[in-house]
Amino acid sequence: MTKLSVLDQTPVIQGHTTADAIAATLDLAQLADDLGYTRYWCAKHHGLYGVSNPCPEVMLARIGSLTKRIRIGSGGVMLPYYSPFKVAEQFLMLEALFPNRVDLGIGRAPGGDMRTAQAVAAGSYNRGDVFPQQVAELIALFDGTLADDSLARGVLLQPQIDTRPELWMLGSSDFGSLLAAPLGIRYAFAHFINAHSGHLVAEAYRERFAPGHEQKPYLAAAVFVICADTDDEAAALEKAVDLRRVQMAYGLNYPIPSIAQGAAQQYGARELAVIEHEKARSIIGTPERVTEQLHVLTEQLHVLQERFNADELIVLTVAGSYAARTRSYELLADAFALDR
């Protein structure tokens, strides 16, 4: 049975407030818990009108208190902003609150433009070069294997608990996979960002994995999906997605387009070329069409025995209405017969 999970960017749809977006996230997390999704990840972004969660670790505390079974996690924490010790403390606290339910997904991207990154970092954001050392330090903190020269050596790491969060590397290129593999940690590939080389990244991860923090490789593919009851509804939702893609291509910092905005928008040749190029990053349609394409995607990422078969699919849905987003996850849960 295919494992399905949720990636939530807490989108702010045109005509709605950030408070509406946060409330929709809390509602969706509870629904995903009831529907049988495996995990619920909160994305991290800064300085954008369209997505409104700059601190997933805070949101996760609330989501954990509202849910019963589903794993909760960050998709992800941008580690170059922080000390690994502080991140370990935060996620150990979440693990203490919600034992065996917490995931820590980490990445190196700034989660916004460079000016915003500098504001968040209180200075220059040029720390990507130390990211591999930060990841190794985080693993050592969780495993109790700090080097003798580590600043954290001998410092009490609280809270003192027996369990640990699951640690994931996030990425959309081979950088993250080639770092995750020799360290022996889980890897999530962002197909919704890079639709063209996932099978190669997956192959590199599988081939180079060495037992370490985890004993076996585990890879998830994060895909953009909108599922609707009818083809007409799917087409209307897709038009709003098209407009969002064009806005992003032009660097426009706007809320998520509504269905009405998508229907009214007219495009020139350049915009139509952008839309066509970006279509590979999305799977939009009725349950029958979406299910078929998701299985095709899984096969495309098959390396062991034909190619690479993703252990799990993490679904990102950003639609022109909150009701449409909710319905999409309901239809997918039914289509994949998730265990409730």
The CATH code of the domain that includes 49 is 3.20.20.30
Residues 6+ apart with CB under 8 A from 199: 300, 301, 302, 303, 307, 308
Residues 6+ apart with CB under 8 A from 270: none
**Average pLDDT, integer, range 261-289:** 91
Question: What HEC string does 51-120 produce?
Answer: ECCCCHHHHHHHHHHHCCCCEEEEEEEEHHHCCHHHHHHHHHHHHHHCCCCEEEEEECCCCCCHHHHHHH
- In degrees, rounded to 5, the angle at the alpha carbon of residue 326 between the alpha carbons of residues 320 and 329 is 110
- In degrees, rounded to 5, the angle at the alpha carbon of residue 38 between the alpha carbons of residues 299 and 296 is 15
Note the pLDDT of residue 203. 87
Whole-number Å distance between alpha carbons of 100 and 270: 49
Percentage of the residues of the chain whose pLDDT score is greater than 70: 94
Residues 6+ apart with CB under 8 A from 225: 282, 283, 284, 290, 294, 315, 316, 317, 328, 332
State the residue range of the domain holding 154: 4-230+284-335
As to burial, measured by CB atoms within 10 angstroms (0-12 exposed, 13-18 middle, 19+ buried), residue 160 is: exposed
Q: Find tokens 């050596």 and name the residue.
A: 153
Whole-number Å distance between alpha carbons of 327 and 27: 12
Check: CB of residue 125 under 8 Å from CB of residue 110: yes
What is the average pLDDT score of the chain? 91
Give Cα separations from 226 to 10, 186, 295, 298, 320 (angstroms). Answer: 15, 26, 15, 17, 10
Looking at the domain assignment, is residue 88 inside a domain? yes
Q: What is the DSSP string of 9-56?
A: --B-BTT--HHHHHHHHHHHHHHHHHHT-SEEEE----S-SSB--S-H
Note the pLDDT of residue 65. 98
pLDDT digits (tens, 9 = 90+) for 176-228: 999 999 999 999 999 899 888 888 888 899 999 999 999 999 999 898 999 99
Q: How many domains does the chain fold into?
A: 1
Note the pLDDT of residue 126. 64
Note the pLDDT of residue 122. 83
**Token representation of residue 9:** 């960017």
Q: Find tokens 């609707």 and name the residue.
A: 228
Looking at the domain assignment, is residue 146 inside a domain? yes
Note the pLDDT of residue 292. 78
Residue type present at position 239: K
Q: Which has more pLDDT, 292 or 246?
A: 246
Phi, psi at 232, each rounded to 5°: -65, -45
Whole-number Å distance between alpha carbons of 156 and 191: 39
**Average pLDDT, integer, range 41-48:** 95
Does the bond joining 99 to the residue before it have cis omega, within 30 degrees of 0?
no
Whole-number Å distance between alpha carbons of 290 and 175: 30
Whole-number Å distance between alpha carbons of 127 and 118: 11
Looking at the domain assignment, is residue 175 inside a domain? yes
pLDDT digits (tens, 9 = 90+) for 214-269: 999 999 989 899 999 999 999 999 999 999 999 999 999 999 999 999 999 999 99
Looking at the domain assignment, is residue 279 inside a domain? no
Looking at the domain assignment, is residue 254 inside a domain? no
Check: CB of residue 216 under 8 Å from CB of residue 249: no
Whole-number Å distance between alpha carbons of 101 and 113: 32
